[in-house]
Amino acid sequence: MNSTDNCMKRWIRPEIRALHAYPVPDASGMIKLDAMENPYRWPAPMREEWQQLLGATDVNRYPDPTAKALSLRLKQTLEVPDGMDIVLGNGSDEIIQMLAMAVAAPGRAIMAPEPGFVMYKMIAKFVAMDYIGVPLKQDFSLDMPAMLAAIEAQQPALIFLAYPNNPTGNLFSEQQVKAIIEAAEGLVIVDEAYHAFADHSFMGELGNYPNLLVMRTLSKLGLAGLRLGLLAGSPTWLAEVDKVRLPYNINVLTQVSADFALQHAEVFAKQTAAIRADRTLLLAALKEMPSLEVFPSAANFILFRVPEGQGSDIFDKLKQSGILIKNLTPQGGLLQDCLRVTVGTPEENQAFIKALTTLL
Ligand SMILES: *Cc1c(COP(=O)(O)O)cnc(C)c1O
């Protein structure tokens, strides 16, 4: 063992050394249905107008640290209730990190149902907090007795509830989410990353609970490349979260581009309506395959289970035929033999269905 290695082991915390960096597979040349991206580009005139705007943007200056213009536009477009504030993040991943940094202390915990979004657990590790993963029930609904018992026993500082949940795609019961918010002494963050594809939101509930915050992102809507997420809630909470935000976390190109994109909200409304309609078709096509178990989805992806023991094999063969989806089998537990496909264009969805049919 060389001395760099020894030195590293002395200083990098064991829980960090035990982590694997978030894996992002190479998708060049593939039909990419793994990451819940919107498959559609912008209409040509809109792209041209945007390019002109970017051409007139100065990059020699630091961006507006509070992104005033963009924040105002977001509050209007996302219908943030009066009296509530927002904080912006470099993707909602950064917001999870800011929340964790603001509350982290020895012995404090982050809690989330599992299977769920992996960054809650990763970020708990980053900031040396405990993590409590409470298993969902077999049908991916919340296990309320287990959730309430864990809250009472451990009083987590933060509870994340993805609504709809990733990777399962379902919306939890609104009444149960409210019961969790009421039972928790810590903050409950309803993560609405897939809001554009669901019919329910907790945004309107912000004023009703002192410990509720709502997180959104523009990634799944169609702006994943810009990295912009936001946290909405009471100014009392957000002023504290804002203190751990790095001063220029939203770069000037993102500020200009997101503000421009939101002025064309109708383009995204049209795209997401098409994705929702295609989700219905994709669900129906998957349900026609008798060997699959297909789970309901309020998001822009669908989770399904293939026959026992075949998850990784089917995933690999799809990949060999040029179609990249997400293999959840390695996560085990309730996700054994489960695969997740993002709703793509009609052509992409058909290619996926065709390839899958030949493998079953
Ligand atoms: C994708 C996703 C996010 C993160 O999105 P960003 O691209 O970092 O804004 C957050 N929560 C859930 C549940 C997600 O699926």
Q: How far apart are CA 240 and CA 238, in angstroms?
A: 5
Question: Which pTM was predicted?
Answer: 0.96
Measure Cα distances from 179 to 59, 175, 188, 213, 234 in Å: 47, 6, 11, 15, 20
pLDDT tens column, 277-302: 999 999 999 999 999 999 999 999 99
CA distances 126 to 110, 123, 243, 283, 356, Å, are 12, 5, 19, 37, 38
Q: Element (H or E) spanning 353, and its range? A: helix 346-359
DSSP label at 328?
A: -
- What was the pLDDT predicted at 259? 98
> Are the CB atoms for 194 and 164 separated by under 8 Å?
yes
The domains found in the chain, sorted by start residue, are 3-43+266-359 (3.90.1150.10), 59-264 (3.40.640.10)
Does 344 contact ligand 1 (Cβ within 6 A)?
Answer: no
Q: Is the CB of 217 under 6 A from ligand 1?
A: yes
pLDDT tens string 177-215: 999 999 999 999 999 999 999 999 999 999 999 999 999
Cis amide prior to 330 (ω within 30 degrees): no
**pLDDT of 43 above 90:** yes
Average pLDDT of every residue of the chain: 96
Please say if the pLDDT value at position 52 is more than 60: yes
Going by pLDDT thresholds of 50, 70 and 90, the confidence category of residue 347 is very high
Ligand 1 lined by 219 (C-beta under 6 Å): yes
Angle at 170 between CA 324 and CA 80, to 5 degrees: 105
Is the pLDDT at 78 greater than 70? The verdict is yes
Q: Is 91 in the pocket of ligand 1 (CB under 6 A)?
A: yes
Q: How far apart are CA 360 and CA 353, in angstroms?
A: 11
- φ/ψ of residue 104, rounded to 5: -60, 135
How confident is residue 23, by pLDDT bands cut at 50, 70 and 90? Answer: confident
DSSP code per residue over 17-34:
HT--PPP----TTSEE-S
Contact 342 CB / ligand 1 (< 6 Å): no
- What is the structure's pLDDT at 170? 98
Angular region, 279: left φ>0, alpha ψ -120 to 50, beta rest:
alpha
| Long-range contacts from 132-141, C-beta under 8 angstroms, 24+ separation | 132/156, 135/333, 135/334, 136/165, 136/168, 136/334, 138/334, 140/115, 140/165, 140/168, 140/170, 140/295, 140/334, 141/170, 141/172, 141/173, 141/176
Among 176, 169, 161, residue whose Cα is nearest residue 120 = 161
Averaged pLDDT, 324-328: 97
CA of 33 from ligand 1 middle (Å) equals 16
Ligand 1 centre distance from Cα of residue 357 (Å)? 30
Q: For residue 29, which amino acid is it?
A: G
pLDDT value, residue 35: 96
| Mean pLDDT confidence for 148-161 | 98
Residue 323 has pLDDT above 70, yes or no: yes
Residue nearest to atom 14 of ligand 1 (CA): 193
Give the pLDDT confidence score for residue 1 in this predicted structure: 57
How remote is the CA of residue 93 from the centroid of ligand 1, in Å? 6
Which numbered atom of ligand 1 lies nearest the CA of 36? 1
Query: Distance from CA of residue 171 to its chain's centroid?
Result: 14
Is the CB of 191 inside a 6 Å radius of any atom of ligand 1? Answer: yes
